[in-house]
Amino acid sequence: MLLKAQVQILARQEALELLGVASTEPFSREAEVALKRLDQGLMDGLPWFHEERVRRGADPQRLLSGAKSILSFAVSYYVATSSPGQDGQPLGRVARYAWGMDYHQVLKGRLKVLIEKLSACLGRVIRYKVYVDDGPMLDRAVAYRAGVGWYGKNTNILTRRLGSWVFLAQVLTDLELEPDTPLRKSCGRCRACIPACPTGAIVAPYVVDNRRCISYHTIENRGVIPREIRPLMGDWVFGCDLCQEICPVNRRVAHTKEPAFQPREGFTTLGLFDILALTEEDFQGRFRGSPIRRATRVGLQRNACIALGNISDTAAVPALARALREGAALVRGHAAWALGLIGGAAAQAALEEALQKEHDPWVQEEATLALASASEMVQLGPALARK
Ligand code: B12
């Protein structure tokens, strides 16, 4: 008991807000759920999320032999509003979790300090491993078992005090601590998050289909975003918060005071013309130490094209035309799509020019389809104006 109280005090010192303890029994039910989702193709597009990873991650003894307990932490990143955008250009939205510094580095550093201090208090070496998002451990399953929060229908862990705007972090350790019990709480009859997802990615309560999730497409998808998903993505360029913003549990939560997670200027929304113009060197420099780096430069430029298409302002035509001439193939194809959506004579001319020079078959296909849609709009223009 004394030990748990000591951990609590040290956690507070390291600004690790919510703490629970989970046993190291295998997470058999959660592994079954994850394996079923894999089988059903709901995790498609994440090659690193495979059967062996799930089996390993669900068995704490395989991660650290002799492990006796898991410390489960939740740390808020919530800030309500973003800073105003950059010099009048169209902006793309970034999910809140990426407004501040890279949480992997920040939290892992704190967890290590906590263990070092605890080790000094106890006068013995503690065997441990830390996990924050990027390891095989099933972070949500641990938080649920440790009583840190409950499963929301959008699959996020909801906490009483901080809502779902939390990062989850774990220390798997050989310390023997009294385990906590899961909370006796659920979302009840509330289903608000399900229709709030514009792509219908929450296919049933507690089930997200990765292939439809805006967060997946903008962050993890390294290829073409399906044509039917693109118009539904709005102006999101990195992640998505819609299923959390609608959640009533998230309504009255306090802002985080954590300096590392305060919104940084130029990270809460991204100037879309700036993104299209980024060189690899610019990209690495600007997003070093930010979760946004995960999307890669080409991925972010692809997302910027889609957002510009959805915003549909003709002021974006020159920037998109340049991307269609000079971007990577993935960017060129999505720039063509956006120009087709915006339409007008200038967009049409850019697409015609591209079609004369383009060698990539997929970009040719996108440009051909886009040209058909842009020309249709040019022809419909006068008719629409007469109405
Ligand atoms: C892969 C992944 C993604 C993928 C896939 C999402 C998905 N469907 O899992 C993508 C890129 C889409 C993604 C998006 C996001 N992610 Co993510 N992601 C992960 C990662 C690496 C693995 C998640 C996982 O195991 N998925 C497998 C599926 C099957 O799990 P699941 O849907 O969560 O279901 C589990 C439980 O809900 C439970 N469960 C579900 N149904 C049932 C039924 C029964 C009977 C039982 C017993 C259990 C159970 O068991 C399942 C297996 O553990 C974790 C970090 C980690 N290592 O755990 C972060 C993590 C889940 N992500 C996180 C965040 C912040 C996000 C985003 C909010 C970011 C954003 N704003 O864009 C979105 C949220 C989208 C959403 N609604 O899920 C946080 C979530 C924090 C929280 N409060 O829950 C995590 C925990 C990272 C962290 N350490 O902070 N993510």
Q: Is the predicted pLDDT of residue 367 greater than 60, yes or no?
A: yes
Residues 153 and 111 in one domain: yes
Is the pLDDT score of 124 beyond 80?
yes
What is the per-residue pLDDT for 81?
79
Q: How far apart are CA 57 and CA 66, in angstroms?
A: 15
Residue that wins the pLDDT comparison between 382 and 289: 289
Average pLDDT over residues 76-105: 88
Extract the tokens encoding 310: 């959805």
Decide if pLDDT at 385 tops 70. no
Q: Which of 241, 271, 301 is the last residue of a domain?
A: 271
The pLDDT value given to residue 376: 77
Question: Do residues 68 and 168 share a domain?
Answer: yes
- If you take atom 73 of ligand 1, which residue's CA is the nearest one? 215
Q: Does one domain contain both 305 and 265?
A: no
Give the mean model confidence (pLDDT) for residues 60-89: 89
- Same domain membership, residue 284 and residue 265: no
166 lines ligand 1 (CB under 6 A): yes
Asked whether 216 lines ligand 1 (CB < 6 A), one says: yes
Residues 83 and 135 occupy one common structural domain: yes
* 18, 29, 32, 33: residue to mutate for ligand 1 pocket, most atoms within 8 A of CB: 33
Model confidence at 93, pLDDT cuts 50, 70, 90, reads very high
pLDDT of residue 166: 98
Residues 253, 297 share a domain? no
* 220 C-beta closer than 6 A to ligand 1: yes
| Annotated catalytic residue 241 | no
My answer on whether 199 and 286 are in the same domain is no
Q: What pLDDT is stored for residue 379 in this prediction?
A: 66
Q: Which of 44, 133, 174, 360 is catalytic?
A: 133
Owner of token pair 């967009």:
347
Please tell me the predicted confidence (pLDDT) of residue 386: 43
- Residue range 84-96: mean pLDDT, rounded: 85
Domain that includes residue 125, residue range: 1-271
**For a pocket test of ligand 1, which of 72, 107, 139 has the largest count of ligand atoms closer than 8 A to its C-beta?**
139
Tell me: the pLDDT tens digits for 13-52? 999 999 999 999 999 999 999 999 999 999 999 999 999 9
Q: Are residues 35 and 135 in the same domain?
A: yes
Question: How sure is the predictor about 83, in pLDDT bands with cuts at 50, 70 and 90?
Answer: low
- How confident is the model at residue 288, as a pLDDT? 96
* Ligand 1 contacts CB of residue 241 (under 6 A): yes
Ligand 1: distance of its center to the CA of 155 in Å? 6
pLDDT of 252: 87
Query: Is the distance from the beta carbon of residue 34 to the nearest atom of ligand 1 less than 6 Å?
Result: yes
- In terms of domains, do 214 and 188 share one? yes
Q: How much is the mean pLDDT over the chain?
A: 95
The pLDDT value given to residue 88: 84
- pLDDT over 90 (residue 381): no
pTM of the predicted model, to two decimals? 0.96
Please identify, among 219, 236, 271, the residue that sits at the C-terminal boundary of a domain: 271
Segment 356-379 mean pLDDT: 91
Is it the case that residue 2 has pLDDT exceeding 70? no
Q: What is the pLDDT of residue 387?
A: 40
Whether 233 and 118 map to the same domain: the answer is: yes
How many structural domains comprise the chain? 2
Determine what percent of the chain is predicted with pLDDT higher than 90. 92
188 in the same domain as 102: yes
Please say which residue of 271, 295, 321 terminates a domain.
271
Burial zone of 49 (CB within 10 Å; 0-12 exposed, 13-18 middle, 19+ buried): middle
- Please write the tens of the pLDDT for every residue from 297-306: 999 999 999 9
pLDDT for the residue 191: 98
Measured CA to CA, the distance from residue 382 to residue 353 in angstroms comes to: 24
CATH of the domain at 342: 1.25.10.10
* 253 and 305, same domain (yes or no): no
Give me the pLDDT at residue 3, please: 87
- Give the per-residue pLDDT at 85: 59
